[in-house]
């Protein structure tokens, strides 16, 4: 009996799929595993060496609070890493040929010929002119706020950035999880660091020991404190930056490029803002999650291959007619 081939198995982007296509990540996930390991190791040391002492000498609520924060952090991280960020399907062969056919120009009487598609096309969003860029890889005009990730080789809706720490792009469908991850991770780092300091101070007082003696007696707590101390500054900075982006309804990509300004009446005023930071936060963090545009677990059929790859005779005929040769590639588009 022939095995069933799924669409994720012929997906053209540079992605890694697990659990029969249910999980999608970037191909390079080494830093993601380092992120998971660092959080887990630090938290385990905290629960094993600090929580029993603090629960006995301070309050039994500390292990409960630490456990809730750890679960929330890991849940947000895995949601960010394993979720389709908003990949836009590539154009089919017929769609790509049709796009270029619309801009066909004559060639000195030697028959029709196509020039490369224009790089931009202008549309109006809430009274502001926005340029749509043509993606020569995906053969589409990218929707507003979309961009092509050179690492994953996909166009992504509301592209924010590619984050190696979570092993995935951050876009429209997983940005809220990414934001919750960095916010909760900042709280966890501050919480563990504060508990480590409290542990050492209480131990010094109870044992009437010096600071250096306490450090020698509690090496695990010192390791946790050092990790949290050097991590918390970058995490707090990142959390603050993305809080600013969320309240202004911008992406990292737009902010770095200086695409929009906060001043009304300016030509490049942000057309996606809702006028105040509360509405912007609600739109970014509480809006509905759109369904994935790629049917990665769908079954590959002959009809699907014909639509996405094209029949060889049709492609050769199109090449002779329009002067452009395309390599037939699957797209992962829903049909």
Contact assessment for residue 163 and residue 173, using Cβ atoms and an 8 Å cutoff: no
User: What is the token pair recorded at 216?
Assistant: 């020698």
Helix (H) or strand (E) holding 23: strand 23-26
18 within 8 A of 25, measured Cβ to Cβ: yes
- Asked if residue 280 lies in contact with residue 273, where contact means CB atoms within 8 angstroms, the answer is yes
| CA neighbor of 197 nearest in space, from 208, 185, 205, 207 | 205
Active site residue: 51, 135, 152, 163, which one?
A: 163
Q: Any idea what the Cα angle at residue 274 is, between residues 269 and 278, rounded to 5°?
A: 125
Chain centre to alpha carbon of residue 292: 14
Residue 180, number of CB atoms within 10 A of its CB:
18
Cβ atoms of residues 197 and 225 within 8 Å: yes
- On whether the CB atoms of residues 170 and 162 are closer than 8 A, the answer is yes
CB 116 within 8 A of CB 108: no
Confirm whether 163 is a catalytic residue.
Answer: yes
Per 3-state DSSP, the chain is made up of helix, strand and coil in percentages (nearest 5) of 50, 15, 35
DSSP letters spanning 16-81: EEETTTTEEEES--HHHHHHHHHHHHHHHHIIIIIHHHHHHHT-THHHHHHHHHHHHHHHHHHHHH
Whether 229 and 196 have beta carbons less than 8 Å apart is answered as no
Asked if 223 and 45 touch (Cβ cutoff 8 Å), the reply is: yes
Q: Can you tell me the distance from the alpha carbon of 36 to that of 275, in angstroms, rounded to the nearest whole number?
A: 38
Q: Tell me which residues are annotated as active site.
A: 163
């Amino acid at each position: 009996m022939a095995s069933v081939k799924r669409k994720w198995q012929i997906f053209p982007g540079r992605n890694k799929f697990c659990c029969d296509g249910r999980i999608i990540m970037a191909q390079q996930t080494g830093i993601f595993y380092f992120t998971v390991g660092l959080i887990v190791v630090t938290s385990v040391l905290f629960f094993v060496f600090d929580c029993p002492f603090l629960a006995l000498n301070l309050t039994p609520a500390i292990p409960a609070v630490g456990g809730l924060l750890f679960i929330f952090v890991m849940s947000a991280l895995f949601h960010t890493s394993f979720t389709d960020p908003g990949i836009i399907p590539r154009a089919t062969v017929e769609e790509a040929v049709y796009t270029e056919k619309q801009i066909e120009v004559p060639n000195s009487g030697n028959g029709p010929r196509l020039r490369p598609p224009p790089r931009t096309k202008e549309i109006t969003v809430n009274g502001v002119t926005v340029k749509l860029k043509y993606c020569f890889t995906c053969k589409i005009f990218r929707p507003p706020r979309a961009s092509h990730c050179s690492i994953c080789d996909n166009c992504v809706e509301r592209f924010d950035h590619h984050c190696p720490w979570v092993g995935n792009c951050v876009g429209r469908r997983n940005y809220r999880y990414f934001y919750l991850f960095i916010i909760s991770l900042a709280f966890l780092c501050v919480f563990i660091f504060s508990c480590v300091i409290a542990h050492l101070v209480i131990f010094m007082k109870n044992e009437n020991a010096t600071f250096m003696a306490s450090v020698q007696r509690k090496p695990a707590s010192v390791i946790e404190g050092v990790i949290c101390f050097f991590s918390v500054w970058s995490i707090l900075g990142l959390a603050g930056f993305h809080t600013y982006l969320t309240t202004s309804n911008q992406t990292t990509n737009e902010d770095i490029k200086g695409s929009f300004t906060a001043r009304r009446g300016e030509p490049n005023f942000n057309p996606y803002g809702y006028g105040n930071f509360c509405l912007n936060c609600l739109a970014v963090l509480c809006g509905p999650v759109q369904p994935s545009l790629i049917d990665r677990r769908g079954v590959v059929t002959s009809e699907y291959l014909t639509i996405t790859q094209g029949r060889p005779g049709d492609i050769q005929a199109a090449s002779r007619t329009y002067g452009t040769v395309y390599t037939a590639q699957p797209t992962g588009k829903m049909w």
